[in-house]
Amino acid sequence: MVSEESFDEWYNEIVEKAGLCDKRYPIKGMNVWLPYGWNLMQNIDAIIREEMNKTGHDEVCFPLLIPESFFKREEEHIKGFSQEVFWVTHAGKNELEEKMLLRPTSETAMYPMFSLWIRSHADLPLKIFQIVNTFRYETKMTKAFIRVREIHFFEAHTAHESYEDAEKQVREDIEIAKRFFKKLALPVIFSRRPDWDKFAGAEYSIGIDVLMPSLRSLQVGSVHQYRQNFSKAFDIKYEGLDGKHYYCHQTTYGMSERVLGAIIGIHGDEKGVVIPSSIAPIKVVIIPIIFKGHEEEVMQECKKVEKELNAMGINSMVDERDKTPGNKFYDWELKGIPLRIEIGPRDIQKNVVIMVARDGVRKEIEREELKKIEEELKEFDARLYKKAEEFLMKNMHRTEKLERKEGVIELPWCGKEECGNEMEERLDMKSLGIPLEKEEVNATCPICGSKAITWLRLAKSY
């Protein structure tokens, strides 16, 4: 892991050096996805698509533009986003009769359609998702994959008969998120956001955060319970079994390329990025160790190993470039390929290959037991997770005193907004919210001294 002090500088450099994005595009906060970065993002999307399919969500694709009248229907929502919206006002030289906006998120595009689609209880639950670009005019300093103005966005939207059904959906989303982030070797923290920081229009929001090596938290996902706030604004009603009409209960679940930002930040080291095998486009790179007189033999063996690994479903590639092995190691370490295999004349004679994982674990593997590589990849991902989890645990502090610590701190809290705000101010940290699981707290609020009802998590955040 990269050290706290050098992290931000390292991060800003590595995203370009490793071929993930090009920041020279002349619009701030809008970078060009390079092939490697885009490939990784597509593989992350593939995991979320698989999860969505498993849980009965259908993929849709809504228009990018939203008419102003749609956007204005939910008051809290407009307040929350009004400063960040990009407007389209002209078509050629002509001013549009009605202004349109680039979606900052898609509630106000989707829900007028929901009101047409949903007629009876038989249409429920409605569970859809899309992976599209959204646009938000960020005023803070932009950062590749972390704070951008054109966002690669995943959003799931659901509608249900009852509040309890919507609550079940929230619980399902949390389970999806747990599986998803585990696959990416990212330990995450779920917190119910305080009311003053919930999503615009939500009844409550659950934030999913990671802790970056800079000891600042990064929100990588969120789940929102809307209750009937949007269905009332957009007239989304269904006919119940009793023939009466009811407003739907709704939820959403959102994530973005920040997930990739978290992978780069948390797993990376001084040599470059480190990619879990679950999303690595190339899982194994094979490096021929050429000695004079053995060129043909070594190259043939490398090709054979490549073919066998690919046949096992392990994407592999021989690096045939005219460079020294050392230079090749450097390049692939920079890109974070999980495993490399080295094959030289002596290995062929011994009937082995040398495997070196990106985290330094080195093993000799019998040639006949090449299928062990599959297990090695899993172990590699497990080691990444464990290391990241240890880092998170080490930097989460439960304390009763109001004192600043690096990382995430949990303080006893009475639940009053003014006390929460004062903690934020005095610690110069932002509250992430409270743990999802209820627990007894035998401590007092450090601000007002009354009995605490929960723990409030605070951190410096991106």
Contact residues toward Zn ion (CB under 5 A) are 414, 416, 419, 445, 447-448
Which tokens go with 276? 């879990």
Minimum Å distance from CB 417 to Zn ion? Answer: 10
In the complex with Zn ion, the residue whose CB is nearer, 452 or 459, is 452
The amino acid occupying position 420 is G
In the complex with Zn ion, the residue whose CB is nearer, 52 or 434, is 434
9, 143 in Cβ contact below 8 A?
A: no
Backbone angles phi, psi at 427, to 5 degrees: -95, -10
CA-to-CA distance for 67 and 78, rounded, in angstroms?
13
Minimum Å distance from CB 196 to Zn ion? Answer: 15
Minimum Å distance from CB 236 to Zn ion? Answer: 38
CA-to-CA distance for 66 and 134, rounded, in angstroms?
11
Minimum Å distance from CB 460 to Zn ion? Answer: 22
Minimum Å distance from CB 398 to Zn ion? Answer: 17
Minimum Å distance from CB 428 to Zn ion? Answer: 19
Helix or strand or coil: residue 223? strand
Which tokens go with 3? 């050290």
In the complex with Zn ion, the residue whose CB is nearer, 298 or 445, is 445
430, 391 in Cβ contact below 8 A?
A: no
In the complex with Zn ion, the residue whose CB is nearer, 324 or 450, is 450
Helix or strand or coil: residue 69? helix
Helix or strand or coil: residue 321? coil
422, 447 in Cβ contact below 8 A?
A: yes
In the complex with Zn ion, the residue whose CB is nearer, 207 or 420, is 420
Q: Which of 433, 418, 455, 457 is nearest to 199 (CA)?
A: 433
In the complex with Zn ion, the residue whose CB is nearer, 414 or 427, is 414
